A and B are shown apart, each in its own frame.
Chain A
Amino acid sequence: MSSPATTAPETARPPETRRPPRIPLWANPRLGLVVLLVALVVLFTALRPAFLDTTLTLVPLQSDISVYAVVGLAQLAVLSLGHMNMAVGSMASMSAFAMGLAYDRLGVPLPVGLVIGLAAGALLGALAGLIISRTGVNSFVVTLAMDFALVGLITILYTRFTDGVAFSGQPAGMTTLRNDTFADYCMGEVCGPRIPLIAPIALVAALAVGLLFRYGRLGREILMTGANEKAAELSGIPTKRRVLQAHALSGLLAGLAGFLLAANNGAFSASIGDQFLLPSFLGPVLGGTLLAGGAVSVLGTVLGATLTQVIYKGLNLLQFQLDELKLYIGLVLLVALSLDRIRHVIGERRGARA
């Protein structure tokens, strides 16, 4: 194409036609989360100054956030498709079992066991993805059935290979990972911050998942499959493979979350993952990830997980009972989602009027 018009200077274009349509800043769900977070921290600190106590609160809080951010990411990996993984907990548990077995019986070093565990998680996720993409059965149903089966299997396996509760053998470095913060490592006079050692693992996972969905061809194609599977297939995306891969990623991240929780608790036990399901949705949904698929927010998921854990920790410090905690977390979720919807509607109206 050799048209003379293409030589016209680029500056001829009026700048205002280039600007993307921005939603107002206050309608951004991430910002809302940050505001809510700050408000809660201030509130809890005012009520219980111990909330800012490093050893008592902040370090364990960071560990918990690390675990549940990764749990949220595991769900986010399939929410990108508009799917669900009801088996995040049991996948984490199976993965933890594989790691525990490797450490206890084979005596492998820490990283090798981790890789084995992640592979087990990814394999289980891939299996779910395979069944979903081959049969076309709804992901909710498939993973729910799978969860049911795995929960049974886990009990059987732990009874067979352990005292029934947890593995006794542990790799070298496990206690360090559990107890140390970067403040325990010094270069001369300068010591690290009081951040638990597992936090950077979660951070790297979040960055990697963020990179994948924002710039990765694979991640983008998964999102397009979630946005419109038919159109994705007709655009040359191997949609069945992408479904399988997204579920494998979900299993892998569930496995990682299982590892982090085991590191936190100090044992590879049968109970790992049995509290994962609700938080896995809380993080992404609070953070603005659509259940319908096609759009995800990694930052939002991390913020959502942080908010949930802050509420948990705060109410705990205020000596609320476990049942009350659940009640309030549920209420906060309802309020947050309603506010989010209201914000969204108002934002749209503003946008339409602008």
Chain B
Amino acid sequence: MILSAEGLVKTFPGVRALDGATLRLAAGSVHALLGENGAGKSTLIKILTGVYRPDGGRVLMGGAEVHLAGPLDAQKAGIGVVHQERNLIPEFSVAENIVLHHLPRRFGLVDRPRMKAEARRCLDLLDLDLDPDMPVAGLSVAQAQLVEIAKALSVDSKVLLLDEPTASLTGDEADRLYGIVGKLRDNGHAVVLVSHKLEEVFAVADTVTVLRDGHTVADAEPLAGYTQDQVVDLMVGRAYASVRLPERRVDPETPAALRLREVSTARGHRDVSLSVRPGEILGLYGLVGAGRSELAKALLGLDRITSGTVEVHGRPVRIRDVGEALRRHRIGYVTENRKEEGLFLDQPITRNIGVTVWRSLARAGLVTERAERRVVEEYADRLGIKASSPRQLAGQLSGGNQQKVSLAKWLAARCEILIVDEPTVGIDVRTKAAFHELIAELAGEGLALLLISSDLPEIVTLADRIAVMNDLAVRGELLNDHDYGRMSQAIIRLIHGDAR
């Protein structure tokens, strides 16, 4: 064992985040660290990187106990980490970012040739052909991610922790990243992979540790001995039946609530035709960068539509902004980017949900707290938003509850057409299932739903029809028979259609 953490205990006010958790890593392996949100993964990582000090237990590196009192101690012990959030300085060059914390110096000045050589060495470890002098701001998301890994390796890390490394990468980029992870394993590194994407985990990892409620429920077991369902069972802690969604039937004769006819946009979408009926879920599948969110935003008037028509309930419309989409056509858009675009993190839940209904609640321009609270509580109850009070700040909620708040404001505004963009990104397994039920339920009530997702199982579970988008155009549409194997193949074929 290159690293073993034993009996870790960490208590926060009112919460025991870790309660005797164990993590054992072997050199030359990829180790998956799994668990639902709140299971203790982040706390464990923060202990290993010296951010938190454990209340109990110990950490051994190569058999010797290490005391990690701060991030520098962790670096010295040989533990590197790549966090979910980017930690690069955009204005600095690739080389400066990589060796930021141990700049080679000569006569008190930065020794630039040595800095570049050092950065080059780290980039070579990853087979990365990047100019070390290039500013980080000019890199793609995937490249920046790899630079972060190079930065973590620059301190000679034997253990590398990757927290949700593919959250913002496309499929190809993720494959490339995992290729590099494989190479690091072959070089004798121990790589810890934290990810919500079980398919990826199963493709890459050798061993797995599963945390639940601060305990280790699977301790460095070979992953080959498990199926995905078994791992989910371990994470959730009860036999997890894959969601049975209520049967819905949409009369194919029902006129479309929203229809796009050969819509082209200033962003470069070409002749997109789509339609969705009341009570129906149209899945819009595509990889990151296919132009799905951008299409939704053009629909809402945030980008220019250059040709083609948009029809709402059969009538051609011209939508200039979100307010008009909402009030005149009852169209809502739940953004994929909830923290930046969906929520007011420093504002209470009441304001976050109330923002779309003030106009209808206002009497002589004034909104009473009572009227607002009545509406807000109705929808908070209905979606099961867990908060200490309606006045709690949105930023203090868990990811799942934040997403519910971001959805609630559109339901409160009585939308009839709802565009839901990547609704379960970064949300744990159990909440995800609840969300799927909710979305199906909304469709059952007669909402027309356009579900944008790059999560294949999600699309196949929920959608009635699936439109596949790639490179700013719709490549084809499929009637979903909910057979995952067949549907996923058909979808992938559509995406790569013109390439083969």
Docked pose: A215 CA to B368 CA in angstroms? 6
Contact A218 B323 (CB under 8 A): no
B227 touches A (CB below 8 Å): no
Contact A20 B322 (CB under 8 A): no
A278 touches B (CB below 8 Å): no
A343 touches B (CB below 8 Å): no
B107-115, B196-204, B388-396 - interface stretch: B388-396
A19 touches B (CB below 8 Å): yes
Chain B residues positioned under 8 Å from A134 (CB to CB): none
Interface centre among A1, A217, A237, A354 (most CB of B within 10 A): A217
- Contact-size category for A: 20 to 34
Chain A residues positioned under 8 Å from B265 (CB to CB): none
| Known A216-B365, A228-B345; contact A1-B389, beta-carbon cutoff 8 A | no
Docked pose: A17 CA to B391 CA in angstroms? 11
Contact A217 B346 (CB under 8 A): no
Query: B441: nearest residue on chain A (CB-CB)?
Result: A1
| Known A17-B389, A294-B346; contact A217-B358, beta-carbon cutoff 8 A | yes
Docked pose: A1 CA to B347 CA in angstroms? 29
Contact A235 B322 (CB under 8 A): yes
Docked pose: A220 CA to B322 CA in angstroms? 18
B56-78 contacts to A (CB < 8 Å): none
Contact B342 A234 (CB under 8 A): yes
B335 touches A (CB below 8 Å): yes
Chain B residues positioned under 8 Å from A294 (CB to CB): 344, 346-347
A262 touches B (CB below 8 Å): no
Docked pose: A346 CA to B206 CA in angstroms? 46
User: B310-346, CB under 8 A of A: which get 1 and which 0?
Assistant: 0000000000011101110000010100001111111
Docked pose: A73 CA to B356 CA in angstroms? 27
B433 touches A (CB below 8 Å): no
A187-216 contacts to B (CB < 8 Å): 211, 215-216
Q: Chain A nearest CB: distance from B331 CB in Å?
A: 10
Docked pose: A227 CA to B343 CA in angstroms? 10
A236 touches B (CB below 8 Å): yes
B355 touches A (CB below 8 Å): yes
Tally of B interface residues using CB under 8 Å: 39
A228-245 contacts to B (CB < 8 Å): 228, 230-238
| Known A234-B333, A234-B335, A236-B327; contact A295-B367, beta-carbon cutoff 8 A | no
Contact B340 A230 (CB under 8 A): yes
Docked pose: A90 CA to B302 CA in angstroms? 36
Interface centre among B343, B358, B391 (most CB of A within 10 A): B358
B351-409 contacts to A (CB < 8 Å): 351, 355-356, 358-359, 362, 365-369, 382, 388-392, 409
Docked pose: A353 CA to B413 CA in angstroms? 37
Contact B355 A224 (CB under 8 A): yes
Q: Which of B347, B392, B413 contacts A227 (CB 8 A)?
A: B347
9 contacts between A and B (CB under 8 A): A20-B388, A20-B390, A20-B391, A211-B366, A217-B365, A220-B355, A220-B358, A231-B341, A234-B342
Residues in chain B within 8 A of chain A (CB atoms): 13, 300, 302, 321-323, 325-327, 333, 335, 340-347, 351, 355-356, 358-359, 362, 365-369, 382, 388-392, 409, 413, 445
* Given A228-B343, A228-B344, A231-B344, 19 additional A-B pairs, CB 8 A: A17-B388, A20-B388, A20-B392, A21-B388, A21-B389, A216-B365, A223-B347, A224-B344, A228-B340, A231-B342, A232-B344, A233-B322, A234-B322, A234-B341, A235-B356, A236-B325, A237-B355, A238-B323, A294-B347
